[in-house]
Amino acid sequence: MAKGWYVVHTYSGYEKKIQRTIMKLREMDADFATVVTDVKVPEETVKEQREDGKEREVKRKLLSGYILVEIDFPEMTWKNTYSKIKRIQGVTGFVSAMEGRKPQPLTPSEVKEILMRTGEVPMEKTFKPKQNFTVGEEVKIVDGPFESFSGKIEEIDVAKGKIRVSVQIFGRSTPVEVEYNQVEKIIF
């Protein structure tokens, strides 16, 4: 079986109705429920300016005219599930489905991106440093408890956005961990 999220094209404005219909089919048919595991109408929350100047949060369809259906298509009997969904009034077909062939699911990264926009999956914080550092480079600490200390970079942890710098404290070399934004390069 090939479980994945598939995009179903619908008449615009029929997304919620088709979602309810698929959920009813799942309740009435146990076999269908094992194959079709979830249905989503992706919506994002946006702030909208009202006429009186106040802001309000509104849910908007992320993909108007499309719904996401999580399906575990059986290899031999995929056409049964495919045709059950395609026969629902308001469904025009599966995206990426060629005549007589099984539709292609969204890639995991596409699903993740959609679910992050809907708020179902937390947004990833991508750290992009202003400067590029290398191990062995001289830096000056400009913020935090070790402000004004200088030292050499021993280790760089890009995932955490931290750098281990070896500084001289009371005449001894001591490693301290600081964040990218707490150091700057020493330019000679």
| 72 φ/ψ angles, rounded to the nearest 5 degrees | -110, 80
Q: What is the pLDDT along the chain (188 residues), one digit of tens a residue?
A: 568 999 999 999 999 999 999 999 999 999 999 999 999 999 988 777 778 878 888 888 888 999 999 999 888 888 888 899 999 999 999 987 777 788 889 999 899 888 888 887 776 655 556 668 889 999 999 988 889 999 999 998 877 788 999 999 888 999 999 988 888 888 76
pLDDT at position 14: 94
3-state secondary structure of 89: coil
What structural domains does the chain harbor? 2-118 (3.30.70.940), 138-185 (2.30.30.30)
pLDDT at position 127: 55
Tokens read off for 68 = 């996401």
| 93 φ/ψ angles, rounded to the nearest 5 degrees | 150, 180
Radius of gyration of the chain (CA): 27
Identity of residue 187 = I
CA distance 122 to 42: 15
pLDDT at position 26: 94
Q: Are the CB atoms for 38 and 50 separated by under 8 Å?
A: no
CA distance 36 to 34: 6
CA distance 165 to 169: 12
**Look-up of token digits 């990218």:** 180
Tokens read off for 50 = 């009202």
Tokens read off for 99 = 């005549």
CA distance 166 to 177: 9
